[in-house]
């Protein structure tokens, strides 16, 4: 039952990550930041999203590899699946399969942040 629980919660977290990332991008776009400041804001917020994902993974007592896996699925697979569903609600969070350089950098930043957070020993938290 633990494997099924991990898979279901991981899928839910991946959808939440995809939605949160799109919200972050829309927030940065709404702020009016362009080019370099926008990329820096997205990287900072992506790192926070990675840490938040790691904390939620730890709180739900899921295996340690779940957080980086959820981040990768949330950035690459979930937007493609959501774009295949013809609906206005899923269209807000849909995307294509190709990552831009900024998205790839944000994904790497968030994944490293999640891995570092999960690597901190329990007695240091």
User: What is the distance between the alpha carbons of residues 95 and 91, in angstroms, rounded to a whole number?
Assistant: 8
32-44 pLDDT tens trace: 877 778 888 888 8
Between 91 and 122, residue with greater pLDDT = 91
Contact 75, 21 (CB under 8 A): yes
Contact 102, 42 (CB under 8 A): yes
Q: Domain segments of the chain: what residues? A: 2-119
pTM: 0.76
Task: Inform me whether the pLDDT recorded for 124 exceeds 60.
Answer: no
Report the alpha-carbon angle 42-66-81, nearest 5: 65
Between 90 and 62, residue with greater pLDDT = 62
């Amino acid at each position: 039952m633990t494997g099924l629980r991990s898979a279901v919660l991981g899928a839910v977290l991946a959808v939440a990550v995809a939605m949160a990332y799109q919200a972050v991008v829309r927030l940065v776009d709404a702020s009016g930041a362009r080019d370099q400041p926008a990329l820096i804001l997205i990287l900072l917020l992506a790192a926070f999203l990675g840490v938040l994902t790691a904390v939620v993974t730890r709180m739900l007592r899921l295996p340690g590899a779940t957080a980086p896996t959820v981040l990768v699925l949330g950035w690459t697979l979930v937007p493609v699946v959501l774009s295949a569903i013809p609906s206005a609600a899923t269209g807000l969070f849909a995307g294509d399969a190709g990552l831009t350089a900024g998205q790839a950098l944000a994904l790497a930043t968030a994944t490293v942040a999640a891995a570092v957070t999960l690597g901190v020993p329990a007695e240091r938290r």
